[in-house]
Each structure stands twice: as structure tokens, then as C-alpha cells.
Amino acid sequence: MLKNYLKIALRNLINNKVFTLTNIVGLTSALAVSLLLVMTALFELSYDQFHAKKDSVYQVYLSSQTPRGLESGTSQPVPLAPALKADVPGIKHAVRTLSDDVLAIYKEKEINLDAEFSDPAFFNIFTFPAVKGNAENPLSDKNNVAISEEGAQKLFGSTDNVIGKSISLQLGKQEQLFTISTILEDPPPNNSMDFDIVIPFENHPEYISNMDRWDSQFHLVYVELEEGITPEQFEKNTRDFTSLHYKGSIENAIRDGAVANADGLYKQFHLLSIADMHFTSFASGMAEVKRTFPYMILGIAFVIIFIVCANFINMNIALSERRLKEIGMRKTLGAVKKQLFFQFWMESLLVFMVSTILGLVLGNLLLEPFKTLFNTRATLDYVTQPKILLIFGLSIFCVTLIAGGYPALLMSRLGTLRALKGKLDFGKNRLRNSLIVLQFTIAILLISGTLVLHGQIEFMRNKDLGYNKEQVISIPLNGKKDSYRVVELLRDELKGNIDILNISGADNNLGLGRDGSSMNSMMGFDYQGRGVVTNALTVDYDYAKTLDLEVVAGRTFSRDFAADSLSLVINETMAKQLGEEDPLSIRIPMDDGATTYSVIGVVKDFNFQDISKQVNPLTLFMNNDWDLYYAYVKIAPENIAGSFEAVEKAWSKIEPQAEFLGSFLDENLDRTFRREKTMATIVTSGSILGILLSCIGLFAISMLVVGQRTKEIGVRKVLGASISSVAILLTKDFLKLVALAFIISTPIAWYFLNEWLQNYASHVVLSPLFFVAAGLTACLIAFATVGSRTLKAASANPVKSLRDE
Amino acid sequence: MLLQLNNIFKWVNSGGQRIFLLKDINLEVEQGEFISVMGPSGSGKSTLLNVIGMLDSFDEGEYNFLDESVHSLKEKHRANLYKQYIGFVFQSYHLLDELTVKENLEMPLIYKKVKGSERKAMVADMLDRFNIVGKKDLFPAQLSGGQQQLVGVARALIANPKLILADEPTGNLNSKQGEEIMELFKQLNEEGVTIIQVTHSEKNAEYGSRIINLLDGRMV
Ligand SMILES: Nc1ncnc2c1ncn2[C@@H]1O[C@H](COP(=O)(O)OP(=O)(O)OP(=O)(O)O)[C@@H](O)[C@H]1O
Ligand SMILES: [Mg+2]
């Protein structure tokens, strides 16, 4: 029996070659792409889920009521973690972590390693298993460090005989000796804390000076709660603790006019599950867990699958009409509903199985290019979990049931006589049309998303950031030499080169450099009885000149003035915050009045932070006691490649051991919206595939519809219709559907894109042109798809179609 | 003279061989004639009718219609010519299923770009003349075969053609219905319309003033 079904199914599929092939091609590509997208999404969603204690370990963040509103921060002061553990009940472990680059030296080798400074309990609360050495307590001693396999490979060239070896680490200005106690498995790719080496926290150069300071916050704190303790209890338990330790800043907040929260508090500790931390943003002041990105990818995968399934269902229904006579015949021969249903289902199942296999093959072939293109470290392991496979199998089962079963149902309900007559009118056009409308709604949504995303990226790329991003190279100072000395040496080395215009340095980068690190440095002080918060940047001479910053008042730091280490240059926003008519008159006492700084100049606002943010207050310091971390070199617009080479050469002369990581600021800027670019690539390819698949469906449907209407076309032509009028008549029906899709999709697209653009302090204007362009594109593509078919049908000689049988 | 065919040949190439569908057809038709074309199945009757109706082309010979040489006309002019002067009636009616009787009648007028008000009057006139006013809002599927053919003839006539080409107009009808259509044709012919019909029935052929016999694409 089954064999019989299979035989007939195969024969039918071969008879309708075009449609079978169309379906298989569509399904295969959709399945392959969806497979990759689902893989990416599941990979994203799996971030930090591997920690065995993910349900009891939390990141601590403090939300503060400020005059500017609610603000939250994860940066904590050094004494917090020990104090929490000692004073607050219900805490099993409290751990500090701080990511930093550290120069590791072993024999002749000097290598920058990603370091995690932390406490011994790090290994109690996080799941980073050891491969060799002390697995229980890798940080048992202040001079013990744990290194990852990759880190060991990099430093020693091998993971054998590494335990017990001594290495030097450059911490601050001096080198310190450490012993390797443990080799760790490499942290998995779906991990928020990427590190090569874990170093006891006390060794951080900032540790000693900040040991008892509650107002200097620069690292993260994680806690593991004792069993039965909830985050709510923790929040309650820390209230008195908070009022005690943050007394001063709470009083300042009250003085400056902050409004207490619903509980009457000004500061409150909260916990954020480590399972959520990868997806958290503090943009609105509170921690917001948003898994938008992976869900969007899942959504696109789903939508693509939907489009091909709709094609499949549509074609099957349209095709089944051709088979009405066959069905009627079978019924007169005594076929029952169940058998008819099986027959249709078998055909669908066959098509799906073939496509699934081909899709898997194609997906595997595309895996590597996909990973590079979308910049993901996901692997197929994330998809081949039993749970996912089960869901996939079930969904295929359901889709084939609908795709094959629906027409079968229609037909089997149809009276034998009506079937023999070959007429089917079950409102199937309504289903078909709704599916086409839905497909094109999705396609237009994706196209407008693509256009707006690219628009925003272009907008960000071309935005005037207030500094020169085309002509300036920034170089991470990752060598051993003193940073001021390196900048000075660079100046000397490149002095003769007329293409090198200016050289300066600062303690922070602009954009994201090739070293991959970014940081924020904030400070607060009282001015005229008010609390003031500003970003702080330490710079070297010529900073403004090198970056083409515009000085709007006063001057910048200059070698002609001896006392510039007590001078400040501020940006316009900072000047506004300080609120003085003449900003150059501002004197700011700091360190409890021990020193007084004076503002000597104001620079025009420039985007020194992420471009999605608005420009915040900024204060430039010039103090040789504070290290620089980046050098900036401005080059002439001519001979850019040559100048870059010259800079690189100078660098390798000055710091032969350290890798040259210099890059132009516009590249750095591009790196900061890598996420947007990935998103744009995904949405773009999704929309291209979506529209392509929709068109395949539309093409097949138009073929069938035109086929059904050849007789009508002939009659019309004999009655005097011109080719164009017939072509328009046929095309109109399809374009109407696309127009309807446009009307439906535009408000939806507008709403979501507008929401998304709100994430950016300055963004591209959401002009109607985006939507018109998307709609026109869809219309044009649909027209091109259908038009060729209809035109051909319209120009055919009517004699053929009208021949009386 | 309405039309004139001189040495018309039509063939198709199949497997390197030339198969003649029409061979050396010479025919003159005067205004007001009623011609019946007869012959066995496959003898080329429909082909001849399609050539006369300018729906199909021919490979050799001359065709003059009202002093226009059809063989040298462009496709577009030819279409204009038959739109204006020729009406078709088919064996299986070929009404547009999704249009009502009234709308079916209107269709040729729309394609001839007749104005709305004028169109309405002409349709009403035709409905009246064929006694189908009561059926004007029905769809073809709701009519009997005879009624459908009646609509078919009405549609062929509505644009006031000089020539009606009917390919087995009674082929799908019973003898009673067939007779009615033939009576209608006769009456139309008396009113001055030229008619060329293809038929298998001797009896129906008798309605015509002249009979042409075809055999293997050749007039006999
Ligand atoms: N396009 C074509 N290609 C090949 N052969 C054709 C073509 N059109 C018609 N014929 C052949 O030409 C011959 C005449 O066809 P035609 O339809 O004119 O016959 P007929 O006399 O109308 O027959 P019937 O009485 O059955 O309607 C037939 O043998 C047919 O197979
Ligand atoms: Mg015929």
C-alpha cells in the first residue's frame, strides 16, 4: 500500500517538474539559511548559560537617584565585595573582577594577554574547569595565576610542563613575578568574560590606592547567594549597608535635588542574573534585559520558512485544481477520504524530506562563509541538540500536513460530480491571496528594514563627529616603555617626515581600536555647592591640534605655560553644566581643596564616546603622572599609505617587542557599529532571500493562473482586446495584492524602525522615501516576475487556446 | 465584394515535411451571402474560418477584405479591421465565466472604446432583440446551452459587424435549440449581414445560399 502511494506520489511530482523543482529549490535554500540563522540565534541565546551556578550567581549593580534622574552602574569600589560578604547575610561568595590587558614576559617573549583580575572564589562561582594543575583553588596564593590553554600556547608555545613555571607580568610601572598554578580550558565562545589569564585581584596596580575608597569605582562584583536567598531579600538586606557606606554621596544627591525612589531610598543595590547579563542594557537607568537581537534572527528564520511554506501550500492548491478530474475519477473508483489525504500528504512529505537533506548539505557548505560574514563563532552543535531536532521534526510534520492535507481536505470534501466537472470554488483564492499578501508584507517589512539600517549606518559613518577621522591614526601603547616617552620618541622619529603633521596621546581611544578595548573614565566633584559629573580624559600636548578639535574659547594645553598640569580644557556640554557666563573664569577645587584647577579653554563638542550616545560633559587633563594609553598621529591627506607605513616603521623601532595595532579613526568608528553591520547583513540577506522566495511563489502562481485563464485571454482577444490591455488585466490582480501588502506593512515597519532608531541619540530621519522605495522595489520585482508571464500569454495567438475540443 | 481569397496556402512543418492545412483556396464572398462550409473532420474548415477571420495567418496567396490587402497589413491594422467588421460565434460559446450576460455583451464595445452611455443603449437594444432581458444579470453557468449560444450570437452582433463567422455554432446544442439559432442566422442574413458558418449538418447547411466543401485542405 505504502509502496503504491509512494509510486504515485513520485510520478505526480515528476509530472509537475517545474513546481516540484521550484519547491525543492525554495525549500532547500530557505532551510539552509534558516539553519544558519537559528544556529546564530541559539548561539547568542546560549551566552553565559554554561555556568553551573547560573541560577544563584548575580552581578551586582547600584541604582542611584540623581538630579538627572535614575542612573545605574555596574562599576564598584574595591572595598565593596569584602564588605558585602562580611556584613550582609545570605551571601556565600562575593568576587571582584576586572578585565585588563597585561603584558606577559617569559624569557624573550613579550605578549599582551587578556587578563581577568579576580578573587579566589572566582573559580567557585564560575564554571571554568581546569585541565592541569591546581583545580580546586588556582588563586590560592597572591602570586599564583591561572592561564588558559590558548594563553599557554601563546606564551610557552605548549601546554606541557607549564605548571610551576615563573612568568613576569607588567603591572603598572613595574614587573612582578608569578607562578602558573593551573591551566584552564579555554573559555567557551559563548562567554562574556574572555580571558587568557586570571590574576589575583590584589595585584592590580590600582588596588592599593583604592583599597579603602568607596568613591572610586572601576571593577565588577559578582555574588553567589546562599541557598534559599532571593535577589529581593538581598536588596532588602543591603539597604542599611548602602545608607552607611554611601552616606556622603546620598547627602550630596539630596542636596542637589534628587528625588527618592518609591521606597524612599536614594541608592539601592540590585542583582542581575549572570544568565541575563549578556543581554542587559542600562540605557534607561535600570537594567533592562533584552534578547531582541537573537529573537530578531529567529524571527527572520521563521519568516523565511513561512514564505516557502506559503509557496508550497499555494502551489499545491493551485496544482490540485488541475488534478480535480483525477480526484473525481479516483472517487468514482472508490477511493476514500483517508486514502486521498495520504496520497497528497505523501507527496508533500517527499518534497520536504528531499529539501531537508539538501538544505542540511547546503547549510554545511555555507557554514564557513556564513561565520565570517556574520562574524559569529556559532557552530552547528547549537542546532543539533535533541530538543531542537525534535521541534524541527515536529514542525516539518505539521507543515506537510497543512500543505498536503489542506488541498486534500478541500478535494475530499468536494462532491464527486463537482470534481469531475473540474471546478473548485472554496474561497481558495482568498487563502491564496492572503498568503501572497502576507509574503509581500514580510518582504516589504524586510526591505524597509534593510534600507533604514543601511541609512543609519551611512548616517553614522558620515556624521561630522567633531574630529578628523580620516587623517588620524591611533596606536594602542601596548609596549613596556613609559607612554610619554613613547610619544616623545615617535615625535623625534617622524620629525623629518613632511607628511606627518602632528603627534599626541591620550589615555582613551576614539572608537574601537584593534586592541579591542574600550573604557569610560568618570569623575565627580562639587562645584559651587552642586555635584558635577564629567568624563575625564588625560591628554598630551597637541591633542586638539592632532584631532582637529575646534577651540571655541581660550586655549589648549601648551608647552609655553609651565603650570598646565593644573589647567583644564572642557567641552561645551561641560561648560553648559558648570553654567558660568565666562567659562574661563572657572576655578575648581579638588582633592578636598588641596589643589585648584582652572579652566583654560573650551573645545567644541565632539563624539568622544559611542556614536549612539549624545555628547556628555568632558574634561581634559594634562598630568604626566597619569599614563597615556594611545598615541595619535595626524598625517597629510596625500600619500596616506606611505605615511602609515612610516608610522609603523617608527613604532617597531621604538617598541620592537610590541605588536603595532595602529588604525585609522574611521576604521575604529566602523568597528563600533559592527553590531549594526551584522544586523544589516542579516536583515539584508533575509530580505533578499525573502523577496526572492516570494517571487518564486508569485511566479509559479502566475503561471498557474495564466494557464487557467488562457481560454479567457483568447476570448478577450477575439473580442478585440489589445495585448497590453490583456497583460494589464492579468498583472493588475497581482499588483493589487502587492499594493495591499504595502499598505499593511508600512505602518508596522514605521513603528518598529522608529522604536529602533530611538536607541541612537542622533539618527537618520525616518523619511517616507524609505517606505516608498521599499514598496516600489517590491512592486517592480513582482511586476517583473509576473509581467513576463502575462505578456507572453497576452501575445499568444488566440486560435490555439480557443480550439474546441 | 466583401472579401476575396486568391491561391491561399497554409502549411506547417513537421519532421522536415510540409503538411498542408489549406491548399490553393480561391474564394469570393459578396455582401449579403450566407455560406456553409462542410467537410469531414480535420479537413481544414476551422483553419479556413480562422484565416478569413484574420485570427490565423497563411503562408502564400492573397487575401483582400473590403479593398484592403490583409496579407500586407500589420498585425495592429489587421486587429483593427476584424474588430470593426467581424463577429465570431463558437461551438462552445466561449462566454467569459466571471461576467454576467450584460457584461459579456458589453465587452466588445469596451474594446472598441465605445462611450458608456452609448454602450448601455446598444446592450439594452441587443437584450431586447434576443429576448433575454430577464437573464441579463445571470452568469453563463446559470444558462442553458441554447441560451448561452444566443448570448454568443448577440455578442458577435453587438458591434454591428459586416461578417459573422460561426464555427459549428449548433454543435453543442440539441436539434431544437440548433434550429432556433439557424432561424436567427437566416433572419440576420435577410437584414443584410454576411454569414459564413461551418457545419456538419446537411440540414443546417441548407439555410445557406451556397455550400463550400473541403477535403484535405482543398476546395472540392
Ligand atoms: N497548428 C497546427 N499544427 C499542426 N497541425 C494543425 C494545426 N492546426 C490545425 N492542424 C491540423 O490541420 C487539420 C485541419 O484542422 P481543422 O481544425 O481546420 O479541422 P476541421 O475541419 O475544423 O475539423 P473538425 O470538423 O473536427 O473541427 C487537422 O488535421 C489538424 O490536425
Ligand atoms: Mg473545426
> What CATH number should be reported for the domain holding residue B105?
3.40.50.300
pLDDT reported for residue A331: 66
In a domain, B133, yes or no: yes
Interface of A with B in 685-744 (CB under 8 A): 711-712, 714-716, 718-722, 725
Phi/psi class of residue A186: alpha, beta or left (left: φ > 0; alpha: ψ in -120 to 50)?
beta
Which residues form the domain of B200? Answer: 34-54+86-219
In a domain, B183, yes or no: yes
A546: its cell numbers: 592632532
Q: Which helix (H) or strand (E) holds A429?
A: helix A428-462
pLDDT in tens, B148-203: 999 999 999 898 899 999 999 988 888 888 898 899 899 999 999 999 999 999 99
pLDDT reported for residue A238: 93
pLDDT beyond 60 at A352: yes
Of the candidates A617, A623, A646, the residue with the CA atom closest to the CA atom of residue A527: A617
Domain count, chain B: 1
Query: A369: distance to nearest CA of chain B, Å?
Result: 51
pLDDT beyond 90 at A694: no
pLDDT beyond 70 at A655: yes
| CA A62/CA A72 separation, integer angstroms | 6
Reported as a pLDDT band with limits 50, 70 and 90, residue A87 is: very high
Least confident of A499-508, A790-799, B152-161, B165-174: A790-799
pLDDT beyond 90 at A349: no
User: Residue A624: CB partners within 8 Å, gap ≥ 6?
Assistant: A484, A565
Q: What is the percent of chain B where pLDDT is above 70? A: 100
pLDDT beyond 50 at A426: no
pLDDT in tens, A299-336: 999 899 888 888 888 887 777 776 766 666 666 666 66
In a domain, B155, yes or no: yes
pLDDT beyond 80 at A668: yes
Partnered with residue A146 across adjacent β-strands are A182, A198
pLDDT reported for residue A540: 93
DSSP designation for A382: G
Query: Which residue among B47, B212, B215 is best mutated to probe the pocket of ligand 1, counting the most ligand atoms within 8 A of its Cβ?
Result: B47
| CA A320/CA A432 separation, integer angstroms | 13
pLDDT in tens, B53-66: 988 889 999 999 99
Ligand 1 interacting residues, C-beta cut-off 6 A: B 12, 21, 39, 41-47
Q: Do B94 and A802 touch (CB under 8 A)?
A: yes
Nearest CA owner, ligand 1 atom 19: B42
In a domain, B137, yes or no: yes
Average pLDDT over residues A63-71: 86
Residue of B nearest to A795 (CA): B75
| CA B34/CA A702 separation, integer angstroms | 43
In a domain, B70, yes or no: no
Residue of A nearest to B98 (CA): A712
Give the ranges where chain B is alpha helix by DSSP (H): 45-52, 75-85, 101-111, 116-129, 145-157, 175-190, 202-205
| CA A589/CA B192 separation, integer angstroms | 115
A172: its cell numbers: 603598572
Q: Do B96 and A716 touch (CB under 8 A)?
A: yes
The model's pTM is 0.77
- Cβ atoms of A330 and A420 within 8 Å: the answer is no
Phi/psi class of residue A472: alpha, beta or left (left: φ > 0; alpha: ψ in -120 to 50)?
beta
Average pLDDT over residues A561-573: 87
| CA A262/CA A268 separation, integer angstroms | 11
- Cβ atoms of A286 and A63 within 8 Å: the answer is yes
Q: Which residue has the cell 603584558?
A: A103
Q: Is the ipTM of this complex over 0.90?
A: no
pLDDT reported for residue A678: 83
| CB pairs A-B closer than 8 Å | 45
CA A739 from centroid of its chain's CA atoms = 33
Average pLDDT over residues A407-427: 58
When CB atoms are compared, the residue of A716, A720, A802 closest to B90 is: A802
Interface of A with B in 746-805 (CB under 8 A): 797-799, 802-805
Of the candidates B161, B208, B210, B211, the residue with the CA atom closest to the CA atom of residue B185: B208
pLDDT reported for residue A419: 55
pLDDT reported for residue A176: 92
- Cβ atoms of A223 and A57 within 8 Å: the answer is yes
Ligand 1, atom nearest to B48 Cα: 18
Q: Which helix (H) or strand (E) holds A240?
A: helix A239-245
Residue of B nearest to A803 (CA): B46
